[in-house]
Homo-oligomer: A and B are copies of this chain.
Amino acid sequence: MRDFLPADKSRRERVLAVIRERYRAHGFDEIETPVVEEYDRLHAGIGGDNEKLSYNILRRGLDADGIRAAADDPAALSDLGLRYDLTVPLARFYATNRGQLPGVFRSIQIGPVWRAERPQKGRYRQFVQCDIDVIGDDSARAEAELIAASLDTIDALGLDGGTVRVNDRRALDWMLDSFGFAEEERPGVLITIDKLDKIGPDGIVAELRDRGAKASAVDAFDAFLRRPQTMEYTPYGERQIRKALPEGAPEEIVAHLVGLGEAVAASRSAEGEIPLVFDPFLVRGMGYYTGTIMELAHPSVDYSLGGGGRYDGMIGRFAGQQVPAVGFSIGFERIVDLVEALDAGAAEAVVLVHDADVPLAELLAHKAALLSRAGRVRLERRTKNLKALLERASADGYTGFASVRAGESAGSLEVKPLG
């Protein structure tokens, strides 16, 4: 877990302000849930591997006997835990509050989550997630709104040229079925396919054979992976989708994916190609996805900047009634590292350097006068190394400086540009 010093914190807040503003513009509304949820809800089998990484909170009021008894039932030590994602809390929130929410509810959630991962470069145990979700809409309108809002947001952060890789869990399922994989082995096969970017087609086929997947199905898959393909680029649309899938793909799935492209194209006021790429091998890890799956890509990096998918089954587990839902999580921690310093706002920021013997009231009157015309004022006692002081202020986003000595006229101070 990390401390954020002023320069980093300020950049993070500016990026969050842009994300909030763009998501709100697209008709999403921000909500907030407590960071602590009930233990049983966090361990209901929905969170996948993240459940094992959760931080659990020690139940209060346990006495020595209670602790001893928990040796055989460690779950009894906790009644609460820190959330490991924003999706499980959203499902709980919707079940609790649906009477007060519109029929189609478009939520924004921005907040920290915790996972007890082994520390490694670029991974933190506390990190911020930014999710948007559409609950109560089973049409591709929902996916298109999520994609348009997400692309618009990274555009506004200076990361234009983003694209979204899309697939559909139903297409994956049909494809594995068409190769001949049995239903019960498909989840394992998907885990292997998910590694395609890392280990390549040969690695995939080898791993499938190693894990004892049905040999004839692996052969069929292998042949499909090695089929001759022209290197000709095809823009997103029916032709690209049909080319990328084995022959005979169900019309309903193809129509859904084609319609999604048209909807996204209509959502973008900018001219140009549909910013989607159909990827028949996109899997995304979570077991709860039921339809469209999406991943945000940008030419400047080889990792994804976010992703999401449709999870029509999950809300029903909490709400007791099936409700369609689809979500998209923008990779805030990755994006904040990519975004160069955003303009901190046009208002002038002034450092007021003063001698130690300037009377306090006089000094503060100068500060108040500057504050009435500048956006931001910081007092700094003059040091021998004035240059270092001003350089630091400049790094902190200050744009001008003024100087005051004891006994100087109380008139208006001259502000000089910094750096």
* Chain A residues engaging chain B, CB cutoff 8 angstroms: 1-6, 9-10, 12-13, 17, 20, 24-27, 29-36, 55-58, 60, 62, 64-65, 67-68, 70-72, 74, 77-78, 80, 82, 93, 96-97, 100-104, 106, 112, 114, 116, 126, 139-141, 144-145, 148, 259, 262-269, 360-365, 367-369, 371-372, 375-381, 383, 392, 396
Contacts and interface: CB of A to CB of B under 8 A. Distances in A.
B263 A364 contact: yes
Contact of A74 (B26, B67, B259, B266): B67
A3 B96 contact: yes
A407 to B, nearest CB: 16
Contacts of A67: 67-68, 70-71, 74, 77
Contact of A267 (B9, B27, B144, B364): B364
Contacts of A376: 24-27
Nearest to A23: B376
B269 A5 contact: no
Contact of A126 (B35, B78, B100): B35
A144 B25 contact: no
A388 to B, nearest CB: 11
A13 B292 CA distance: 32
Nearest to A24: B376
B360 A144 contact: yes
A91 to B, nearest CB: 12
A104 B381 contact: yes
B259 A35 contact: no
B32 A35 contact: no
18 contacts: A3-B34, A5-B97, A6-B29, A25-B376, A27-B367, A36-B114, A56-B58, A58-B77, A62-B74, A64-B74, A67-B71, A102-B380, A103-B381, A104-B380, A266-B364, A266-B365, A267-B365, A268-B368
A269 B56 CA distance: 50
A25 B363 CA distance: 16
Contacts of A383: 103
Contacts of A269: 368-369, 371-372
Contacts of A141: 360, 363-364, 379
B100 A368 contact: no
Nearest to A66: B71
Q: Which of A26, A65, A269, A361 has the most CB of B within 10 A?
A: A361
A126 B262 CA distance: 44
A27 to B, nearest CB: 3
Contact of A34 (B126, B263, B360): B126
Contacts of A30: 6, 9-10, 13
Nearest to A12: B32
A100 B34 CA distance: 33
A78 B102 contact: no
A140 B360 CA distance: 8
A36 B375 contact: no
Contact of A266 (B32, B80, B362, B396): B362
A404 B371 CA distance: 49
